[in-house]
Amino acid sequence: MDQLLSLAAENLISPIILSFVLGLLASLFRSDLSVPEAAAKALSIYLLFAIGFKGGVSVADHGIDGRLGAALLAGIILSAGLPMVAFGLLRVMTRLERLDAAAVAAHYGSISIVTFVAGTSVLESQGIGSEGYMVAVAAAMEAPAILSALWLVARGGGSDARGMDSALLREIMLNGSIVLLVGSFLIGMITGPEGLAEISSFIVSPFKGVLCIFLLDMGLVAGRGLREGSGVLRPGVLAFGVVMPLVGSTIGLGTGLLLGLSTGGIALLMTLSASASYIAVPAAMRVALPEANPSLYLTLSLGVTFPFNLTLGLPLYVAVAQALTGG
């Protein structure tokens, strides 16, 4: 318990979390502080490239683990299965309509890559290693949840779902962040440690500083979302935004233990299972389920679950993974 509290305290006063809090507070107090849209986009490209590349290098350095295929498959199953759990919880905890519940559930099956990046940063600062291919698992977990949500709506006999046309499927599978993450992972795997040595001054040293600025922007966006969407957060919905990450991370924990992942790998799988998408899934939901309320799922995933994971969730997942693996 002491270890958990000290890890949580250490996490809370880290530059990345404090940058996020600064953005959140600035936004809640209606400061005009903002990060230009193009700059935020450039920062996210940098972070995705760096995290993908480093994951690929790690795989090249340590060799392809036999668990890679199993971990990828587990990621896909988790992403497809977690929306069912989320949907069940939403039906019990809230009075949301089936359509809104399915749309929210899709977000909790998919992942937040920024939470994942922050998780790797916490692990690095603790000196805990993880499997490099967890980046590929993260990419694999982006899309299946969307299909599960559409299935949940179709199963209810609703005609609300526009359905999965080929254009939407292509947009989901070739989503920019998936392409960049997988592409940079492959580049890292092909070029290995020599490739990393060539560009490490760009993608290793400045990484945490860039993450701070990016999280400052995420804090601003989350704060604005909370300000504008707080009306949709009824007590049951709000509680779901905190309970679901804990449920998801527990399922991720069990899966990680079954797969025999390292302490860091388990903590990252817990993080992925606990996180909720706010980029890929909202876009897909706007196309496939336009009648679902966007302020509900965006406020919940970005305004409640993301800050929860970033501040309290990450140290909790790392501490639990350490406690159960002795790492």
Partner 1 sequence: MQTHKAKRVAIIIEAVMESRLTKALNDAGVTGYTILPVLGGSGRSGSWNRAGQVSRASGMVQVVCIIRPDRLDKMLEAAFAVVERHIGVVSIQDCEVVRAERF
Binding residues among 44-83 for partner 1 as defined by CB under 8 A: none
Q: Does 246 bind partner 1 (CB under 8 A)?
A: no
- From the list 292, 40, 310, the residue with the least C-alpha distance to 146 is 292
Q: Directed axis angle between helix 37-62 and helix 113-126, to 10°?
A: 50
Instruction: Determine the size of the site formed for partner 1 (CB under 8 A).
Output: 22
- Closest to partner 1 by CB, 166 or 205: 166
- Closest to partner 1 by CB, 146 or 269: 146
* Contact track, partner 1, 268-307, x by CB under 8 A: ----------xx--xx--xx--xx--xx--x---x-----
- Smallest gap from Cβ 159 to partner 1, in A, equals 11
- Closest to partner 1 by CB, 123 or 181: 181
- Closest to partner 1 by CB, 12 or 283: 283
- From the list 189, 180, 159, the residue with the least C-alpha distance to 113 is 180
Question: 144, 76 in Cβ contact below 8 A?
Answer: yes
- Smallest gap from Cβ 125 to partner 1, in A, equals 25
- Smallest gap from Cβ 157 to partner 1, in A, equals 18
* Contact track, partner 1, 149-178, x by CB under 8 A: -------------x----x-----------
Tell me which of 52, 56, 225, 252 binds partner 1, using CB under 8 A.
225
Q: Which residues bind partner 1 (CB under 8 A)?
A: 34, 37, 41, 162, 167, 218, 221, 224-225, 228, 278-279, 282-283, 286-287, 290-291, 294-295, 298, 302
